[in-house]
Amino acid sequence: MKPFEYERAADAAGAIATLTREAPRAMYLGGGTNLVDLMKLGVAAPELLIDVSHLPHDRIEPLADGGLRIGAAVSNSALAADRTVRARYPMLAQALLAGASGQLRNLATVGGNLLQRTRCSYFTDVSKPCNKREPGSGCPARDGDHRNLAILGHSEACVATHPSDMAVALVAIGSLVHVEGPGGARTIPLPGLHRLPGAAPQRDTVLEPGDLITAVELPPLPLAARSRYRKVRDRASYAFAVTSIAAALELDDDGTVRDSRIAFGGLSHVPWRALAAEEELRGLPATEASFARAADAELAHAQPLRDNGFKVPLARNLLVRTLAELAAEQGARA
């Protein structure tokens, strides 16, 4: 294997300074559940790893406005088990538990989970071309194996999907990503961290060299207490989503939709916030017909490839069923 140096960061400022100086040969290391695999496969070949998993970003703190601040080094297991998250953002806890395996969730961090790379089989095989891995080398997935790749927002250069479950829930919640970088601290609202592939699929996010995710902030979002995450996958556990949905629904007393939050996983290069569907739903009666109308509004621009057209009806059914279940729960409660 390729030799590399390992450095355990003492503080965020030092880590950022080192990475900014050493980029692109240096990379941050969180839980390592994705990066170390990519290093074994030869997909990633950092010469210097800066371990940020021990930085004091390991707490989940309530905020004055009723929101929640989650340190970037908090493990996926700890976040899924957090009582506040489970009570007030159930779709986030459910999304976390739908991902990977118990062992991986114990290691994986919140920051690292957001920055996971696609599992497209061409990306992970260095003996084949891939524009994301080697810009300009081509995209064999477009005509090759793409059953589980994108139907929304893909480009000639790349049809990859983002693999995270957690990110789908965070995008639905409209979380804020806290970033510190060479230019200081800033926040990036979700969606907004991940980018569509366009002509530069090698860039998964808008982060610049040296940027370090330090926390994710959940806004106080009362309707998130009535939310769920549902993941469709080939294998009943330990498999990436074929399609997933994070959804929250709030009804008015007359049974019409006051507000909703909807995001899809497995459909795009980014965790896909379904803003068109949310917009369509507002004020409509909470019926399956309305939910189907909303799904169609969102999926009207889907561009399925040869072998993944099934994701369009799948996403539609998933949206209709999930919102219908949320509506039924609220009907029962009222």
Partner 1 sequence: MSATVAGGRAIGTPTDRIEGREKVTGAARYAFEHAPENAAYAWIVQSPVAKGEIHSVDGSAALERPGVIAVVSVENAPRLAAVEEAELHVLQSRTISYRGQIVAVVVADSLEAAREAAAHVRVDYREQEHHVLLDEHDPAIYDPGRVNAGYPADSILGDVDAALAQAAAQVDVVYRTPAFHNNAMEPHATVASWDGDELTLYDSNQGASRVRDVIADVFELAPEQVRVISPHVGGAFGSKGTPRPHVVLAALAARMTQRPVKLAVTRQQMFAFTGYRTPTIQRLRLGAGADGRLTAIVHEAIHQSSRLREFTEQTTIATRQMYAAPNRRSTHRLARLDVPTPSWMRAPGETPGMYGLESAIDELAVELGIDPVELRIRNEPELDPERGVPFSSRNLVACLRLGAERFGWEERDPTPAVRRDGRWLVGTGVAASTYPAYRSPATATARANADGTFVVRIAGSDIGTGGRTALTLIAADALERPLERVRVEIGDSALPRAGLAGGSMATASWGTAVTFACRALLEQLQEHDGTVPAEGLEAFADSTDDVRATDQGYSRHAYGAQFAEVRVDADTGEARVSRLLGIFAAGRIINPKTARSQFIGGMTMGISMALLEESVMDREFGDYLNHDLAGYHIAAHADIGALEADWIEEDDAHLNPMGSKGIGEIGIVGTAAAVGNAVHHATGVRVRELPLRLDRLLAST
List the x/- string, 307-326, binding to partner 1 by CB under 8 A.
---x--xx--xx-xx-----
Q: What would the two tokens of residue 212 be? A: 């370090």
Instruction: Give whichever of 11 and 325 is closer to partner 1, judged by the CB atom.
Output: 325
Least distance in angstroms from the C-beta of 295 to partner 1 = 12
Q: 200 or 324, CB closer to partner 1? A: 324
Q: How far is the CB of 95 from partner 1 (least distance, A)?
A: 17
Binding of partner 1 at residue 49 (CB under 8 A)? no
Identify which of residues 148 and 175 has a Cβ nearer to partner 1 in the complex.
Answer: 148
Residue 258 touching partner 1 (CB under 8 A): no
In the complex, the smallest distance separating the C-beta of residue 140 from partner 1, rounded to whole angstroms, is: 5
Q: Give the position of tokens 């804020």.
A: 176
**Could you tell me the end-to-end alpha-carbon distance of the chain, in angstroms, rounded to an integer?**
61
Binding of partner 1 by 97 (CB under 8 A):
no
- Does 102 interact with partner 1 (rule: CB under 8 A)? no
How far is CA 218 from its chain centroid?
14
Please work out the total of residues on this chain that contact partner 1, with binding judged by CB under 8 A. 31
Indicate which single residue of 145, 156, 279, 288 sits in contact with partner 1 (rule: CB under 8 A): 145
Please, is 199 exposed, middle or buried when counting C-beta atoms within 10 Å of its C-beta (0-12, 13-18, 19+)?
exposed
Site for partner 1 contains 42 (CB under 8 A): yes
**CB of 242 within 8 A of CB of 311?**
yes
Instruction: Give the residue with the Cβ less far from partner 1, 127 or 253.
Output: 127
Per-residue binding string, partner 1, 111-140, x by CB under 8 A, is --------x-xx--x-xx-----------x
Q: Which is nearer to partner 1, 94 or 214 (CB)?
A: 94
Toward partner 1, which CB reaches closer, 88 or 228? 228
**Shortest distance in whole angstroms from residue 121 CB to partner 1:** 5
Identify the residue among 8, 25, 54, 147 touching partner 1 (CB under 8 A): 147
Site residues for partner 1 per CB under 8 A: 1-2, 42, 119, 121-122, 125, 127-128, 140, 143-145, 147, 232-240, 242, 310, 313-314, 317-318, 320-321
